[in-house]
Structure 1
Amino acid sequence: MTITIIAGARPNFMKIAPIISAIQKAATEGSNISYRLVHTGQHYDQKMSDTFFHELGIPEPHANLGCGGGTQAEQTAAIMVAFEKELIQNPADLVMVVGDVTSTMACSIVAKKLNTKVVHVEAGIRSFDLTMPEEINRMVTDSITDYFFTTTEEASNNLRKAGATNDQIFFVGNVMIDTLLKNQKNFKRPAFFDQLKLNRSGYFVLTLHRPANVDHHHTLKELMHEITANVRDLPIVFPIHPRTARIFSELGISAKNLHIVDPLGYLEFNYLVQHAKAVITDSGGITEETTVMGIPCLTLRNSTERPETVAVGTNELIGTNPRNIRPALDRLFAGQWKKGGIPEKWDGHTAERIVEHLLALYA
């Protein structure tokens, strides 16, 4: 069995690393399984791409399609054109896509049009918010996927409601947590940690990149004011996304406790999260990591495709209204934040289960 694995953006890299390791282990034990890794180039900033390959021990891609930049439509088209040529030249039994980025959707469409079966890892998650590009990517991908690997039973149920059958759905857990648990002992203190005199549980980590929060100058400025004014003068470390940096530079936002830093590698970023008082974010994946590490997380969104991080974990949806920030921070400082737990099968063995199911399907 030959599997073409697609990676395109930072969240993908964290998900493919343990899957590749599990495939390699199965192959050395005599199983008929091999892979070809295709990097679409969707993230072309070194900190957002190359660093993750190095830190997570991911082998060099067999192909890099170099499809970075452009609008979403331009990038989707470029990936489809390039991946069609790649798959024709290097046929596979399965194309494995992960997550919900542009590459996920684009490559799944190409594979199906070339009559190649599609496997979707992290299938079935839904925010039910069609203003989010990722939600469209998820829905399109799952509508043509052959085999679904899900992070929760709720995701499995979403697929059943959409018409998928039980023999297509495999509840395996969260492969990104495999990466987190494997690398936790290797987390690396960033160089600025001591320079900024950061102390354990004595600072906040902030990440923002979603259009609803960063594309409108007034909204971003108001969010930043509420955050910086209500963290009781604790330092805020803001590894700024390239998208956000372009807009942020136009606003002249500054505060004595706000520290803007470049994007961090996986090991440095998660060291920062692990030792923070809390994380303020609009990311989805980070809410999974904070849940497992037991770090309070305030999510500046009105919906989430990862409801288990709220129902079980340490995450709370604060919404996009800046006025909601102060009450949430007041609860945090009052010691009233929930402790949270860890969702079922988020145990570090998800990739092994995925490979076991694939071998059984193609036995």
Structure 2
Amino acid sequence: MPTFTIVAGARPNFMKIAPIIHQLQKQQAKNPAIKFRLIHTGQHYDKKMSGDFFEQLNIPEPDANLGGGGGTQAEQTAAIMVAFEKELLENPTDLVLVVGDVTSTLACSIAAKKLCIDVAHVEGGIRSGDLTMPEEINRMVTDSITDHFFTTSEIANENLRKSGFSEEKIHYVGNTMIDTLLAQMPRFEKPEGELFDQLKPKEYFVMTMHRPANVDQEQKLKAMIDAILEGTQGLPIIFPVHPRTAKNLQALGISSPNLNLCEPLGYLQFNYLVKNAKGVITDSGGITEEASVMNVPCITLRDNTERAETIHLGTNELVGTDPAKLKPYLEKVMAGEWKQYQGIPKWDGKTAERIVEILVKHYS
């Protein structure tokens, strides 16, 4: 019977693997011969970025933590590859399953293939076309050596076909992150603290910014925040902020009574805020998917996206990184004239079921 190794490394990975693990546990209950190991690469290694997710999403403790956090991109990739190769030699497996597009995805795929082990890529085939993003390189390299693609959209399928991959490798299953979102929605909880107690539903914004293009260029960051403050017309903005970004904001002297910086939040607390927000302003990819399914207006401060279905069928609009372009979009949100979620095919909470069914069938 099959043995699978599942890899998680960074915050978004945990939402994507949780439903797959739950489905494998269900299969194990019927057939104890099915085995899997959960490997945490340690790419995100502080409690807020990983530990909380294991508790909140009911994921078992990892079988191993590779401790691959810190350092440059190259140092991190190398550390994870060395540690993961050792893991695979000590614990042989039929398949390595990687998710998303982080450094761990790339590093573990390469280590597995060099040991002639099959690789499955959850979220295979998504592309932004922007090679300045480390994630795009991770996606392209991982896909080039992948044996099974589990895709989120017809757009991803087409990207893979254009790259010459055969239909039998492409499995159009949906989005495991949405499995997690739909399963956890009844458990969403308001964060604790006076700041959050004062918020009124649909009368505040949630903002996330982490990409260097937005947060590392001082004058651009100041212009963007100024444009956001002007366009949100005094409504509270909740900004869970990375310490580096907080430092940049402080150095620029950016502050406003309605700009509320806070620590990164747990999954259940953050999505509670998104679900009840008037709108979301972000440069993240995953949040555009969650906001769309929750039918919350989403403004993306990027020039491209690897999740085009959130624009065609979701609530996402690609505004770009020019602060001057923000005003009409915020006016639309404020006026309640934003587009509605149309429904994205197979984003129905059953994606992990489809994935595990395919894997068990193929490797039994």
* TM-score category (smaller protein): over 0.9
Deviation at 1:220, TM superposition (A): 1.0
Q: Which runs of 4+ in 1 moved over 2 A?
A: 192-196, 241-252
What whole-Å deviation, never above 9, does each CA across 1:238-265 have from its counterpart, x for those lacking one?
0012442343343221011000000000
Whole-angstrom CA distance in 2 between matches of 1:120 and 1:195? 38
Identity level (%): 62
Whole-angstrom CA distance in 2 between matches of 1:243 and 1:107? 28
What does 1:115-194 align with in structure 2 at a 5 Å threshold? 115-192=116-193
- Residue matched to 2:264: 263
Deviation at 1:197, TM superposition (A): 1.0
Deviation at 1:193, TM superposition (A): 6.0
Contact (CA 8 Å) 2:124, 2:151: kept in 1 or not?
A: yes
What whole-Å deviation, never above 9, does each CA across 1:206-254 have from its counterpart, x for those lacking one?
0000111111111111111111122010000000124423433432210
**Is 1:109 aligned with 2:110?**
yes
Whole-angstrom CA distance in 2 between matches of 1:238 and 1:4? 36
Contact (CA 8 Å) 1:209, 1:243: kept in 2 or not?
A: no
Contact (CA 8 Å) 2:278, 2:333: kept in 1 or not?
A: no
Q: Over the residues paired in the alignment, what is the CA RMSD in angstroms? A: 1.2
Contact (CA 8 Å) 1:100, 1:138: kept in 2 or not?
A: yes
Deviation at 1:192, TM superposition (A): 2.8
- Residue matched to 1:55: 56
Q: Tell me the SS of whatever aligns to 2:27.
A: helix
Residue segments in structure 1 that go unaligned for 5+ positions in a row: none
- Residue matched to 1:23: 24
What whole-Å deviation, never above 9, does each CA across 1:274-299 have from its counterpart, x for those lacking one?
00000000000000000110000000
What does 1:340-355 align with in structure 2 at a 5 Å threshold? 340-355=341-356
Whole-angstrom CA distance in 2 between matches of 1:289 and 1:63? 29
Equivalent residue letter for 2:90: Q
Equivalent residue letter for 1:359: V
What does 1:206-225 align with in structure 2 at a 5 Å threshold? 206-225=207-226
Contact (CA 8 Å) 1:240, 1:263: kept in 2 or not?
A: yes
Give the direction of change, closer, same or farther, for the CA distance of 1:263–1:358 in structure 2 (3 Å limit).
same
Question: How many residues get paired?
Answer: 363
Contact (CA 8 Å) 1:122, 1:151: kept in 2 or not?
A: yes
Contact (CA 8 Å) 1:240, 1:261: kept in 2 or not?
A: yes
**Is 1:314 aligned with 2:287?**
no
Residue segments in structure 2 that go unaligned for 5+ positions in a row: none
Deviation at 1:344, TM superposition (A): 0.3
Contact (CA 8 Å) 1:127, 1:305: kept in 2 or not?
A: yes
Stretch deviating more after TM superposition (249-258 or 105-114): 249-258
Equivalent residue letter for 1:330: E
Q: Tell me the SS of whatever aligns to 1:309.
A: helix
Whole-angstrom CA distance in 1 between matches of 2:138 and 2:80? 14
Deviation at 1:362, TM superposition (A): 1.7
What whole-Å deviation, never above 9, does each CA across 1:299-357 have from its counterpart, x for those lacking one?
00010000000000000001000011111111222222101222000000100000001
Whole-angstrom CA distance in 2 between matches of 1:240 and 1:63? 29
What does 1:178-257 align with in structure 2 at a 5 Å threshold? 178-192=179-193, 197-257=198-258
Whole-angstrom CA distance in 2 between matches of 1:194 and 1:72? 36
Structure 1 length normalisation: TM-score?
Answer: 0.98
